[in-house]
Structure 1
Amino acid sequence: MKINDLTEIMFSNGAHRILIKRLANNDNSKQQIYLGSDFDVIKIIPSGDMYSAGVSKKGPIFKAPLNLFWIDSTGNTEQAKNSQIIFYPNYPETRMSGFLKGCSLSPSHLMQPPTPQQRQQRANRHRFLVLGVSHKSILAFCSGWEEPLSEDLDNAIKNEELKKIATVFYEYAKPGKSTQQKLIEKLISVYKSGEIESCRLNKQGAIQPYTALNGAGYTLEAQFGITPNGCSDPDFFDWELKAHSGSVVTLMTPEPDIGTYLDDLETFLRTYGTSRKADRLDFASRHIVGSFNTKTALTMHLDGYDPASKEIIDPSGGLFLKNNSGEIVAGWRFDKIIDHWKKKHSNTCFVFYTTRKSVLNYYSFGPQITLGKGTSLDRFLDALYTSVIYYDPGINMKFNGQTWKPKKRNQFRVKWKNISMLYKHLQHIDLSDI
C-alpha cells in the first residue's frame, strides 16, 4: 500500500485532513507518542473537553479524550476508547497515550519498546503514524519499518512533497484548492455583492432580517451558510470568521464554569449589575486584570499564573471575578480557557466592514481582510494579564410581564490595533487586487 491508497481510504471514511508523523524509537506504548512542542498541535488534532490532571516535574498537566479509531488497509475501523492527549503547557509538550488498550485493530506489535539491538537495527528505518482528521474524530494507521508505505513517505519527505506543520508533523495535501483559497474566493464573491441587508440564518437555514445593531457578524456568517448556534467549531473548514469595523473585535464568548453567577443569574445581576428600568437588569462593564471596577465592585484576577515566566503555576487557577470578600462570583478555570482557545482560534480571518444605517442596517464587507495564524497559549494568557484582551460582558434580564428572560453574552475582546500581539503571522489582503 502506498500513501495515495491510504489517504483515499481515509478520505472516503470522512477524513478532511491527513497528518503524518515519522515515529522515533521512543514513540511507543511505554513512553507514549510525542506530538511536538508547537501549541498548534492541540488545535489541529480534535479532542474532547480539556481537564486539569495535576502537576508533574514538567509543570501543570491537562488532558483531553480523543475520539480515535484505528483503520486497516481495507477500511475497517475500531475505536481505541482509552486514547487521550496530554498537554504540558509550560514545557511545552504534547503527547498521546492509551491508543492501544482494548482495540484489536491497534498496531500493538509496532508499538513495543525496542531492545538495544532493535534500536541499532532500525537506525536508518522508520515507522510512520498517519492521522486522518475530521472535526470530531481521528482515523489512525501505523506503517511498519519494512513496508512500502514507509518507503513512500520517506521519499515524499526527502523530495519535499509534504508540508511541514506543527513541529513534528507533515501534511498530505488533498488534490484541489486549499481551504485558504476557497475562503478567499468566497470572500471575493461577498465583497463584489456590495451592500447586504442585515440578516441572519434561522434554525432551518433560511435567511431572515436582523434588526439589532450587532448584525455585521451574523450577516457575514449568513453568506457562508452558518447558523448562529453558539458552536465553538471553526466557521468555514478550519477558519474562524470575524467581522470588524476597525475598532474592537470580539474573540470569544465562553460562559463561566465557576462562581455564584451559575447559581442564580437574577441574584447575580441585582447584586453586581445595574437597573435603570424596573423591567431590566444589566451587567455590562469592562473588567481588566488587577483593576477594581467601581461600577460592579468586582476585581478580575488571573490566579495561578506567573507573569514573569508567562506560565501557569497552578492548574486549578484561572480568570476569576471576585467581590470584596474574595468570593468568586464568575470565573473561567484554566482547563476551560485552554479548551475554548484550542477550539476557536487555529486560523482566523478578520473581515473589515462598513455600515450604512437604515431601518435595517446595510453592510459592505471588504475589500480588506486579515488572516491570523499561529496563536499560542502563552501569548493568549499574557494578553489577558496585560489587559490586551479584556472582559466586556453584555448580559441582561428583561421582565416580559410574567417572567424574567435572560440574555447572556460573556465577551472577551481586543482592540483592533492590538491584534498583532495575538498571532505569530498576520497577512493583510486587499480583495480588490485579486
Structure 2
Amino acid sequence: MSFEFAPTRLDELVSLLSAHGAQEALIKPLRKNHNDKNQIYSAAGFDPVYPMFDVTFSLRGASTSRKKGSRTMGKFIPEAVFRKFCWIDSTGREIPAREAKMIIYAQYPETRLSGFQTVENTMPETLSVDFTKQHPDIARYLVLGRRGAGEVIAVMVADPGRRFMGEVASLPNATGSRVWKHLRVGRNVSAALERMLCEVANRPVPGCRLDANRKSLPFNGTQVCGYTLEHELGIVPNSDKNGDFEGIELKAHTQNKVTLFTPEPDMGLYAEDFAKFMLTYGYEAKPGEFRLTGIHRVGDRCEKSGLTLKIVNHERGASIAAAADKDVHVGLYDDQGRLAAGWSLERLLNCWSAKHNESVYVRASKARCEDPALLAAGHKYMVEFSDRVMWCHETSAEQLFEALYAGTLFLDPAPKYCPENVSLNKRRSQWRVNNITEAANDLYTDVRMVSLCDSAAE
C-alpha cells in the first residue's frame, strides 16, 4: 500500500506531520462504512473542519435524496472545497487531491468528506469499498494536518500499534466535536510570534512598509499601523486571504472600533448596477459625489440610508449547516422590500475564513514624527505597539451570525460614486465592531489577554 502508515506510537505521526510543516491536526477513527463511496461523516455542522482549514463554499448539483420526504428533492447541495489538500505517500511525497471537499447535507443535517482521489488517479487503498469489505476489523484513522493558513496535509493510518490507538483515544476532542480528536504538532508558531511581537513592542518606529522586493519604504496612509507592524515582523503586505504570519491574522488597531472584514455584496442592485444603487440610495455629499453611509445593524432601520439590514432564511440559534441550502443571505432592504445589496452565505463564509481562526489584536498608537532625518526621508508618523495583546482562537459560522443578530457586528459602508470621474469611485463594505475587547467573546471560543514580554521571559 503506497499511502498507508502504521505508527506504533503517536510521536511517530507527530514527527511525520511536523516534517511537512503542520502545526496541528484532526484525527478521526474510521468505521467500516467510511470509504470513498459512502463518504466520511464529519459532523452535524461545519465544525471543526471549517474554519480550521481553508475551503471555498459554493453550490453544486441538485439533491436526489428522498430522506425525510420529498422536501430535499431538487435543492442545491452546498459544498466546501479544500483549496489545497495533499496526501503524504509512503515515500514522503505530497500528492494533491483532485477535489477533496466537505459536502453539506442540510436535510439531516450533516457534513461528509469526499473527493480523495489524487491528480495521479490514486488514493489510499484502505479508503476503498473493497478494502473495508475484506478487512472490516482493521483500525483506520484519517489525519488532517493544518499547515500555514489552512492547507491540508493528509495522512492515512491503517493497522497501527495498540499504543498509538490508546494515545489517540486519550487526546482531547476537537472543539464542538465528538468524533474528531485534536493534536498539537511541531513548533509552536504562536510562541514564535509572541517572541517577535515582544521585540517590536514599546519602542517608537517610523511608519513604513515592505515592497514586493522586501525593500523598506516610508508609509503615511491611514493603514500606517498595520503596515508598520508587518514591516517590523518582516511580512510583505498582501491582499489575499491568507493569514499574516503562518496562518495567524494580525490586526493592529488604534481604537476600540475595528473593521473585521470587507466582503463586497454579491446580490441585489449593488452587485447588478453599482451606479444605479448609489443614485437610488445614496446622497449627494457635494456636487457630483454620491455617498452611502450609516451604521446598519440587523433588524434596525438606518435613518441615514433608509435601509434595513436583515438575515434572510435563517432562524437565530439554528445550525447554519441545516439552512445552507435555503438561500441564506444578509441583505440591505428598502422600505418596499427590495434587496438593495446582499451578501450570500457563501460570500460571508469565504471571507470569514481559516485565517480568522487564530487572530491577534495589537493595540497601536501613532504620533507626528519630529525627527528631522526621518522627516527628510519621508516619514510623517512614529508608531508604537503595546506589549499587551488580545489572542483569539477558534471561531465558527454560528458565532459570526450570532454577532450579527446581537448587533455586535454591524455594517458601516463607505462607498463613493462620482458619475463624471469614475476613477474616484470607491466600493467599501466595512463590517465592524464598536469594542473589539468585548466583541471578541462573541466571535471566538478562546480569548486571552497576553503580556508579551512576560511570556517571552518565561
TM-score normalised to structure 1 length: 0.83
- Encode CA deviations 1:13-55: one digit per residue, 9 max, x unaligned: 6656554332233422343212345723212233234447778
Q: Deviation of residue 173 (structure 1)?
A: 1.6
Q: Deviation of residue 191 (structure 1)?
A: 0.1
| SS of residue in 2 equivalent to 1:345 | helix
- 1:293 matched residue in structure 2: 302
Q: Given residue 129 of structure 1, which amino acid in structure 2 is its aligned partner?
A: L
Q: Deviation of residue 151 (structure 1)?
A: 4.5
- 2:144 matched residue in structure 1: 131
Alpha-carbon separation, structure 2, partners of 1:363 and 1:288: 33
- 2:394 matched residue in structure 1: 374
| SS of residue in 2 equivalent to 1:235 | coil
Q: Give 1:72's match in structure 2, choosing from 73, 89, 95.
A: 89
CA contact (8 A) 1:392 1:410 kept: yes
- 2:372 matched residue in structure 1: none
Q: Given residue 196 of structure 2, which amino acid in structure 1 is its aligned partner?
A: K
Segments of structure 2 that go 5 or more residues without pairing to the other structure are 1-5, 370-378
Alpha-carbon separation, structure 1, partners of 2:223 and 2:95: 46
Q: Deviation of residue 363 (structure 1)?
A: 2.3
Q: Give 2:52's match in structure 1, choosing from 36, 44, 51.
A: 44
Q: Deviation of residue 126 (structure 1)?
A: 1.6
Task: Provide closer, same or farther for how the CA distance between residues 310 and 415 of structure 1 changes in structure 2, counting only shifts above 3 A.
Answer: farther
Greater RCO (Cα-Cα under 8 Å, separation 6 or more): 2
Check if 1:333 corresponds to 2:344: yes
- 1:31 matched residue in structure 2: 38
Alpha-carbon separation, structure 2, partners of 1:81 and 1:117: 26
Q: Given residue 335 of structure 2, which amino acid in structure 1 is its aligned partner?
A: N
Check if 1:415 corresponds to 2:429: no
Q: Deviation of residue 365 (structure 1)?
A: 0.9
Identity of aligned residues (%): 28
Task: Provide closer, same or farther for how the CA distance between residues 199 and 267 of structure 1 changes in structure 2, counting only shifts above 3 A.
Answer: farther
Q: Which moves more between the two structures, 354-363 or 252-261?
A: 354-363
| SS of residue in 2 equivalent to 1:429 | strand
TM-score normalised to structure 2 length: 0.79
Segments of structure 1 that go 5 or more residues without pairing to the other structure are none
Q: How does 1:27-426 map to 2 (within 5 A)?
A: 27-36=34-43, 39-51=47-59, 62-66=78-82, 67-87=84-104, 93-100=110-117, 104-112=121-129, 119=136, 122=137, 126-134=139-147, 135=149, 137-145=151-159, 149-151=160-162, 153-157=164-168, 165-166=174-175, 167=177, 168-171=180-183, 173-174=185-186, 176=187, 178-192=188-202, 194-278=203-287, 280-307=289-316, 309=318, 311=320, 313=323, 315-357=326-368, 360-397=380-417, 403-416=422-435, 417-426=438-447
Alpha-carbon separation, structure 2, partners of 1:353 and 1:109: 52
Q: Deviation of residue 298 (structure 1)?
A: 1.6
Task: Provide closer, same or farther for how the CA distance between residues 42 and 118 of structure 1 changes in structure 2, counting only shifts above 3 A.
Answer: same
Task: Provide closer, same or farther for how the CA distance between residues 225 and 269 of structure 1 changes in structure 2, counting only shifts above 3 A.
Answer: farther
Q: Deviation of residue 265 (structure 1)?
A: 2.9
Task: Provide closer, same or farther for how the CA distance between residues 9 and 421 of structure 1 changes in structure 2, counting only shifts above 3 A.
Answer: closer
Alpha-carbon separation, structure 2, partners of 1:138 and 1:309: 29
- Encode CA deviations 1:71-113: one digit per residue, 9 max, x unaligned: 3211345443242112468977432013248864312444427
- Encode CA deviations 1:202-256: one digit per residue, 9 max, x unaligned: 4444333333334322322332333443212111112111123342121111111
Alpha-carbon separation, structure 2, partners of 1:151 and 1:341: 40
Aligned residue pairs: how many? 421
- 1:430 matched residue in structure 2: 451
Q: Given residue 80 of structure 2, which amino acid in structure 1 is its aligned partner?
A: A
Task: Provide closer, same or farther for how the CA distance between residues 205 and 272 of structure 1 changes in structure 2, counting only shifts above 3 A.
Answer: farther
| SS of residue in 2 equivalent to 1:35 | strand
Task: Provide closer, same or farther for how the CA distance between residues 115 and 138 of structure 1 changes in structure 2, counting only shifts above 3 A.
Answer: closer
Q: Which moves more between the two structures, 76-85 or 412-421?
A: 76-85
Alpha-carbon separation, structure 2, partners of 1:139 and 1:419: 30
- Encode CA deviations 1:253-274: one digit per residue, 9 max, x unaligned: 1111112222343333333223
Q: Deviation of residue 420 (structure 1)?
A: 1.5
